[in-house]
């Protein structure tokens, strides 16, 4: 098993998608990258703690590789916008990869360099690639948020389209069964 910690805007959005990927054992919403020990959601949302909303992804690399995890990650958010994803603004919504090993750092930098060279995005990727500090799991009510609150307004407007995009991508483009059966 391998673990990577990713920030790409609201953690509800990232967690919902990664929880559905075949080979992902768990996706835990939390906070990383700041100085305040044991931050709360309201503290992180203030933008003063330095933490990002992240999802810690535990996956089986024999089923899904880190490159495939990162491919999904970069499709879920706009990695070219600094400290912003849609209407969510602030450093807590920054695009970030918190790597756990030197190999993860190298793969992450390679994926970014190749994406930039290929012109995948109109602008250059600004995703921060940083060693993992302390990961703090978010409060219980943030875990599996989309699964437990699918009819909530934010879930319908922001997360549901990402879930549809995931299913479309894997059924049409990749021709590989990444998603878990329902």
Residue ranges and CATH numbers for the domains of the chain are 2-174 (3.30.1060.10)
Position 166 scores a pLDDT of 77
Please provide residue 66's backbone torsions phi and psi, each rounded to the nearest 5 degrees: -60, -40
The catalytic position among 10, 13, 32, 155 is 10
32 carries an active-site annotation:
no
Q: What is the pLDDT of residues 81-95, one digit of tens each?
A: 999 988 889 999 999
Find residue 2's DSSP bridge partners.
59
Q: Is the pLDDT of residue 47 over 70?
A: yes
Whole-number mean pLDDT of the chain?
91
pLDDT at position 163 is 85
Q: What is the pLDDT of residue 171?
A: 64
Query: H or E stretch including 17?
Result: helix 11-18
Confidence of residue 172 (pLDDT cuts 50, 70, 90): low
pTM of the model as a whole? 0.91
């Amino acid at each position: 098993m391998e673990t990577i910690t990713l920030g790409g805007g609201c953690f509800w959005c990232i967690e919902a998608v990664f929880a559905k990927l075949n080979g992902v054992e768990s996706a835990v919403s939390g906070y990383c990258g700041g100085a305040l020990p044991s931050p709360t959601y309201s503290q992180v949302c203030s933008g003063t703690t330095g933490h990002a909303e992240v999802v810690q992804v535990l996956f089986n690399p024999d089923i899904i590789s880190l490159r495939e995890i990162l491919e999904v990650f970069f499709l879920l958010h706009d990695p070219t916008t600094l400290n912003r994803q849609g209407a969510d603004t602030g450093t807590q919504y920054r695009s970030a990869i918190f790597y756990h090993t030197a190999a993860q750092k190298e793969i992450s930098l390679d994926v970014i360099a190749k994406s930039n060279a290929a012109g995948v995005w109109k602008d250059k990727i600004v995703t921060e690639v940083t060693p993992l500090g302390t990961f703090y799991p978010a409060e219980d009510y943030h875990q599996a948020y989309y699964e437990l609150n699918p009819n909530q307004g934010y879930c319908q407007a922001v997360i549901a389209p990402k879930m549809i995009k995931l299913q479309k991508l894997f059924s049409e483009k990749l021709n590989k069964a990444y998603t878990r059966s329902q």
